[in-house]
Structure 1
């Protein structure tokens, strides 16, 4: 049996499991404001040196380590967020291979609540 739609704060009726266009627009605007003051990826340490190290790491560690996943790893995640600390950034014992799905879903949720 399908679940009923919900009413958005703007008054639109939205099917279950979907987001209203106004919610999507608010999220995009919030993300744009956040990114405006953020340094570029290269300035944060994710330049060509990182890409070479990442590629080498993923050749050796090619599977997602998230419990129960085991999909092909596409990202190198910092277990402890480095927050600009380059010593922690380059510490390979702080790296773990993750698939995009686990990094986007589980790891980001975990970091938001930490």
Structure 2
């Protein structure tokens, strides 16, 4: 089966096989992510405390299937991002059970595309 042609990198000027990433681009991405992570409050500061852990486990005991794919749910996701709003954070109508792949993949991608960020 034929593969796509190699491509010229706009960052380093080198030629890279289709599907591979330029080492400079990878490093640049890591640096950008590190800067972003330093600005982000800790999980505790965002409301994910022992109380959240207890309540989310209780929620998953009742709603154990992922809302998107039907697999075993492992996380409680906020349907509408709470963005620090404690009332929305604790509103169970805003919670949904998701498996890790659905939460980390499709849901995060959807939130990045959402205009109301």
TM-score by length of 1: 0.88
CA shift, 1:2, in A, is: 2.3
Deviates more, 1:43-52 or 1:103-112: 103-112
What is aligned with 1:112? Answer: 112
The 5-angstrom pairing of residues 62-101 of structure 1 reads: 62-66=64-68, 69-101=69-101
Q: 1:71 to 1:21 in 2, by over 3 A?
A: farther
Q: Distance in 2 between matches of 1:63 and 1:13?
A: 45
Q: 1:60 to 1:33 in 2, by over 3 A?
A: same
Deviates more, 1:96-105 or 1:75-84: 96-105
CA shift, 1:19, in A, is: 2.1
Q: 1:60 to 1:32 in 2, by over 3 A?
A: same
Q: 1:14 to 1:99 in 2, by over 3 A?
A: farther
Residue segments in structure 1 that go unaligned for 5+ positions in a row: none
Q: Answer with 1 or 2: which has the greater Rg.
A: 2
Give me the CA root mean square deviation.
1.4
**Residue-pair matches, total:** 112
